[in-house]
Amino acid sequence: MATRKGRPPGPVANAANGIGKLAEYLRKARLNRELTREQLASKLGCSITTVQRAEGGKTPPARDTVHGYVRVCILDHTEAEALWSKAANVRRGRTRPSYTQAPRPDLVRTADELGAALARAWERNGCPSTREMEKRAERRYKETRASLSRSTAERISRRKSLPGSERTLRAYLIACEVQDTQFPMWTQAWRRVHERRLAARERDRRAARRAIRRQAPEAKARMREAGLIALDKFPGPVAPWSARHIPCDTVSRFRLRSVLQGTAYCPVCNELVAAREGRK
């Protein structure tokens, strides 16, 4: 049975710019190795469409695809990397006229600044896809013990969230191909932001506790109006509060908000427990 031949490749688009030159370079490398698109796709572990797009010249291929050509077609890594960078710069010139404004990692102090710096690192790497970022982090998992899911990569690169740990930060930097020598600087930036956020949360908790203490005397008085004697410290308006119900002389737990709204009942005697404003 004759082998079915694929459609012959058309001319390379944009042959004069960096994307077209990279496509011609990759196509020539495949032909020199006497490989069909199907055979090369099998060796790269990708689809035929990926090979067609890489050699088409309309959009630059993923960096991993170029590295696959280098491995299979025995190409010069430095030359291939330089051509890919020029192609990526052409694409950025069309779709991203400028990078996100962000300070250097050693100058980062706030969460917004860190988010902008991480987004800029992604853009400078050519805006790799989340699939490619996941693969890059996975290749160094044994070394870093840090994985990066596609959803996490998307949220960080789009400034929707920050890395939740130093390991996630490291995986993201690997996925953006940031040099290892810069990792300590990024780690220090993440720690500064993390410490500031923890301090802010602690300030909020302290403010909430002070507010509860100020409300305690009035809260006990309102419970008393409803026939309840509080037995513990005031935990807040929505938390269960141990109190003795005077009419049936039993101890149960009531929420002050429910008492004020007139929707609380004693679980023992089933009597409505409500402050004056809550009574109908």
pTM: 0.55
Helix runs in 96-165, H state only: 111-124, 130-139, 141-144, 150-157
What residues form DSSP beta bridges with 228? 245
Distance CA 42, CA 48 (A): 8
Which has more pLDDT, 7 or 188?
Answer: 188
β pairing state of 250-254 and 241-245: antiparallel
Q: Is residue 186's pLDDT more than 90?
A: yes
Distance CA 53, CA 57 (A): 7
pLDDT tens figures, 122-173? 988 878 888 989 998 998 888 778 889 999 999 999 999 999 999 999 999 9
Distance CA 280, CA 264 (A): 13
Which has more pLDDT, 186 or 87?
Answer: 186
Contact indicator for 48, 38 with CB cutoff of 8 Å: yes
Distance CA 159, CA 63 (A): 23
Distance CA 185, CA 210 (A): 38
Q: Is residue 81's pLDDT more than 90?
A: no
- Dihedral sign for Cα atoms in the order 198, 184, 92, 46: negative
Give me the CATH topology for the region 18-95.
434 Repressor (Amino-terminal Domain) (1.10.260)
- Which pLDDT score is estimated for 86? 83
What residues form DSSP beta bridges with 241? 254
DSSP state of 251: E
Distance CA 88, CA 80 (A): 12
8 — pLDDT class (breaks 50, 70, 90): low
Contact indicator for 115, 159 with CB cutoff of 8 Å: yes
Which has more pLDDT, 166 or 63?
Answer: 166
Kind and range of the H or E run holding 232: none
Distance CA 31, CA 143 (A): 37
β pairing state of 272-273 and 264-265: antiparallel
Distance CA 256, CA 222 (A): 8
- Which pLDDT score is estimated for 19? 85
15 — pLDDT class (breaks 50, 70, 90): low
47: left (phi over 0), alpha (psi -120 to 50) or beta: beta
Amino acid identity for residue 253 in this structure = R
pLDDT tens figures, 211-253? 999 999 999 999 999 999 999 999 999 999 999 999 999 999 9
Distance CA 113, CA 101 (A): 9
Distance CA 133, CA 64 (A): 10
Give helix then strand counts, H and E, for the chain.
12, 5
* Span 256-272, average pLDDT: 90
CATH 1.10.260.40, the chain: domain bounds: 18-95
